[in-house]
Structure formats: C-alpha cells, structure tokens
Structure 1
Amino acid sequence: MDDATVRDVLTDIAGKTPAYTNLDADLLYRYAVRRRQQRRAMASAAALVALIVVAVAVAVGTKERPTPVAGLQVVPSEFDPLEQRLEVGWLPQRGTTTTREASHDLELLSVSATGAKYEIQVYLAPAGKSIPARLQSTKGNWVDGPDINGAPSRWYPSSRTDVGTGGRLIWDWGKNAQAAVDVSLGDDQKDVAVKIARSVRADRIAAVRMPFQVTTPRGVSVCGTRVTENRSGAAPDKFSYGAELNYCVDNGPTMEIQGRTVPGTSFGLQIVPMWPARVSFTGRETVAGKPADVFAADRVMTVRFKPYDDAIVEFQARSMAEEKATSPEQLKQLVFDLAESFERVGDALKPDTWSAHPVN
C-alpha cells in the first residue's frame, strides 16, 4: 500500500464519528439493517467473507455512479445526527415548510409550499451510503449533466406521475460519497437542480440547535434530529418551529415490517406548534412536578408538557415488536426519565437562541 493510500485511510478513520444508534421509518430501517449485518458478520469468518463477496458483486452489477473524480476529499462513512454540514446557498423559492433532518446515514433539506412552483429536496450521504428514493429516485434512463464544482453529474428524469414532472441530479461531493437534488413540478427542473447543486457546500460543520436540553437515559443513543420551520403562505411574517430528537434503544428487539427490519423500541421528543387542528392540551395530570397529559395505549406511552405559550413538548415511546416487546412499565420509565430531565432553552421562535448542546 503506497503512502497516499495510507494517508487516505487514516484520514477516513479520523473523520468517522462515534457509532450511535430515528423514529423516521427509513432511518430506523437503515440503522437496524446495519446492526443486523454486524451481528451476522460476527457469526464466523467464513460468513463474513461470503457477505463481502456478495455485497461487492451486487454493488458492481447494479449500482450506477458517475466516474470518480481524482482529488475529492475523504469524508466520513457515518454522520453525527447532532451535527449538520449541508448548506444550500440558492433556492428558487422560500418554502412554507422547510425541514432539516440528520441521521447517521443522511442529511436532508426539504422545501415545499402550498401552491408553490417547486418541491425540492437536497441530500448529502456519507461515504459508501446511497441516497434513498423519496421525492425522486435514481432509476431508469439518465442523461449526462454538467460538472458540479468539478464533479460529473447525472440527471434522472422522473417516471413518477404522482409527484409530477421533475427528476434527480446526482453527483459525488467526496470520495465515494453522493449528493443529490430532487426537483418536482415547476419549469426547467434540470437547470434549477444544477443551480441548487452548484450552491451546495459541506465543508463547515455546525451543531444542530434545539430549544431544550435533556439527559440521555442509559442504554439508548441519539439516532436522528429534525428541525422544521412553518410559515403561513398568506402571512409570511407568521411562523413557528418544530424540533425533534429521536432515540433508539441499544441492543433492543427488532421486528419485520413488510420485509424490512426495524428497531422494536424507539422513543424521542418533539416540540409541536399549538395548532388547534393538530394538538390539544388539558394539563390534568402531573409529571415531574409539571402539568401534563398522559396517554397510555398498547405498546405506546405519550406524555405532553406545555413549557411554551404557543407550543407543547411531546415525549413518546413506542414498542412495535410483538415478541420480546418492551413492557408498558419500561416504556413509561423511558418517557418519564427523559421528561424529568427536560429544560427549556432560549426563545422557541428564535433558533439562534437555542442550545448547541441539547443532549447531556
């Protein structure tokens, strides 16, 4: 192995973030698959070799990527859900709903608006991970796109009639690391996607800010974050924010849903704007000395507080596994432990006052 290759390997290792373990189904699925693969890989050396051979054969036979570009930086093979590096410098419109998500396998910026011309999603994946099919997909015929900051790109026109015309532009933002822009509806979708892509940068890492701080219970790990800005189309000056922190239980049970393996127990909290059509609050019970609403159902425990005038905080634990299901008592303990440690930070309508260290 030459010096340049050794340097790349060491840089890749140094860039990796600690392995944490999302209430989002796609993110939970990818996390559970990774854990299952790790357990299978430990079964025997022969099984590990077979797994690697099969994985390489499938990747070579089915995965289409633009030609690798010499000089691309080595990037992590996992992201930290409590950090964000995806920045987009240009968008054709301001959304009434703008969402940022981060997990181990993906960063996402989603922009949509009622009656808006475009729907847009921008993705950044770590090294070796693929971009999921959400708004658009990387399937079917494609055409060469222009260079994106020195890297070749491909444009996949949409074949989905349910989201209208549009497509996906995909390119490498780092060594073996993909980025993509999905555009649906509107005019000149490819040109719009190219302009967005050329404004993307990922060289500055910032903490994900949340309007609270909590203490992580033992035996669980953060596996996803989501921050949403909601604006009124009729009155752009009226807005609210939602913030969500997701946990997965370490070494917890898994289950199969439509052929997919997902963690059997997950929980988290979210700040929910007090929209009458979406949520209500009575405060008839008390948790951790605070007025609360408590809802207990089969394998689900939910607690709501109202620390804000215009928003509530909702804690929810869910055990989806039928076998080895987490007991109602354990679910209640997970939720109550998290709820008791909750502390409000900053102004719910001013993200620059939120905590850069939401998890203790």
Structure 2
Amino acid sequence: MENIYGEASFKFKELVAGILKENDFKLTPLNDDYLNIKYQNQSGIVGIKFYRNRLARLNFVQLVCQQLLDTQKHNPNKVPLLIISNYITDSFKKAIKVKFGIIIWDIKELFSLAFGSSELYYQLHVFLFETFDKLVGEPSVNSKNNESENIISDFKDFQCLENSKDIVKLETGRLFSELYSISEKEQYSEFEEICTEILKYLFEDDLRLWEPQNITSDGLHRFDLLCRLRPSGKNFWEELLNDFHSRYIVFEFKNYSEPIKQNQIYTTEKYLFKTALRSVAFIIARNDGDPNAHKAARGALTEAGKLIIILTTDDLIEMLAWKDRGDDPSEVLRNKVDEVLIAMSR
C-alpha cells in the first residue's frame, strides 16, 4: 500500500532542497536522515522534517533537535540546521538557538527563501495547501527580499556552541531493553506495565485517563487499559474520534508465546460498545495474531463497525524509533488502519 505520509515527506524534502539550491547552498548526503549543507565558507548539517499539523508540536521538534545535536557532536564546527513544514514561534526558535546552538527554519523562512523563484514559491504554496487543506499565510511581499538576505547571513555568520547541553532525554533504549527482558512465561503483569509505559511515552499529549483494569458497571468486562482521546491537533487520534465516534480507546496486552487466536478478538469485541463511545481497540500481542484472528477483526469491523487492530512488540519498537527521531509515531497506527479499511469488503 502506498504510504501517503512517506510520499509527502519525500516531496517536501525535494522542495526544500530546490529552495536551498536556488539560494546557492550546496547539498551532499551525510546519512539517511541528514544532509551536509555549505554556503560559501560556512558548513552545516541540515535535517528536514515534514509534519501534518499546521502548527509544530514542540515535543517532536525538541526530539529531532536532540538527534540533530547528537549528530553534530560527531561533526564539530558544522552548524546544525532544522527545517520544518510547519509554523513555530519566534520565541521558541530563539531559545533553541541561544541555549543549544541550533537554527530552526519554518514556513516563514521557506517562503522568504523561495520568493526569488516564482516556480518554487508556487510549488510551496500548493504543497502546503494540499497538506493542511487551507491557504497558508506568508510574510508580506515587501519584507521578503531583505528577509532572505538576513536568513542566509544568520547561517553564514553563525558560531557553533561548544559543549551544548542535551535538550531532552531519549527513552527508547531503556524501554526497548525492559520490553525484551520480559519473558513469554507468566510475566503478564510486567508485560502490561511496560507496554503501558511505552504508550504513555508515545502518546502522552493525545490520550488521557490511562485507567488500568477498568471494569464495566455490570461487572462482566475488564479492560487491560482504557484511555480517553484528547487530540492535541489535527492528527490520527482526531480522525479516530471523528470517523468511529469513539471517545475512548481500549488497549489489550497479550504476552503469549504463540499468535493470538480468534477467541481473543471475540472477547475484545464484547468490550466495544458504540453507545458508550467506545468502538476502537488495539491489541498488543507479542507474536501477532494467527490468520483467523485477523479475519475475526475484519469481521468485527464489517458487521458491527468496531475497529480492532492487532499490534506486535515490533510495532511498539518501530513507534519508539519514530518518536526519538522527532517523527509522529501515530503514523505507524494510521498505516495499520489504512491497510484494514482499504482491504475492507462488504
């Protein structure tokens, strides 16, 4: 299946590269995530990040800044530069620059730098309109010529900081180790606890409540974990809220040595109740589900409109990696949901 997020991210990086080259910046690959950038005698490392939200989420920006800072430590005297597809406050950009020695360019800087090329300027407008489903404002025409010169001069004259402090603490290594230290035998509560901690680290801004072992009023059903949706912007969780009319999300944890079977899906389906605004569940199964389990999950969606997605521990690790490099981990979940919905039949 086509990854829409990956396609948009690639398109944005290509567009940014074109804008930089139009302004006489030289670009060469550094690794899979970063580019070397050079302007006259000044060299730097540039990270280019695409996000769906019009306003940048500061925790993601801080994480990618930390990764950029770690990379720059192995490339001393190169200016770390982050370019993002959103708006971010000038005060935040200034704080990151002064405290940690990282320059951040957002949409405002990109519009100014693209102003000298009508084609690139138009492409940037179209791309952002398609991304955010609305027209995006930009600096006034009168300010762009001088502003682009100021932006380039700021990079050209920037002095790298020595011994920059860490911005945030990356948790993936610790969480990964704790997850895989749990055996598949009898450590069910430990597996539930570390999975819950991972989910909190991944989605603390979008999920609330975090109620473990919640029991329904009739005493018949007990959820491993119940969360309330509180989306922090236009994102995956808001889509679930609107598309499935689900205010709450059920999480189930299965630390089994074998793939889960269809009876586990049927049990989870009983927990879902549209009138209670509870119609979405994620089952985290160490070893996935067997074919009949996946078939039962598709049946719950087709027959009752209940969305049940099976995740593995590998999916958790992938989402941790996404977050630590400053990407939105919910994109992994969005791809899972898209796969189910696209393959859905009557």
Q: TM-score of the superposition, structure 1-length normalised?
A: 0.25
Greater relative contact order structure (CA < 8 Å, 6+ sep): 1
TM-score, scaled relative to structure 2: 0.25
Considering fraction of residues, name the structure with more helix. Answer: 2
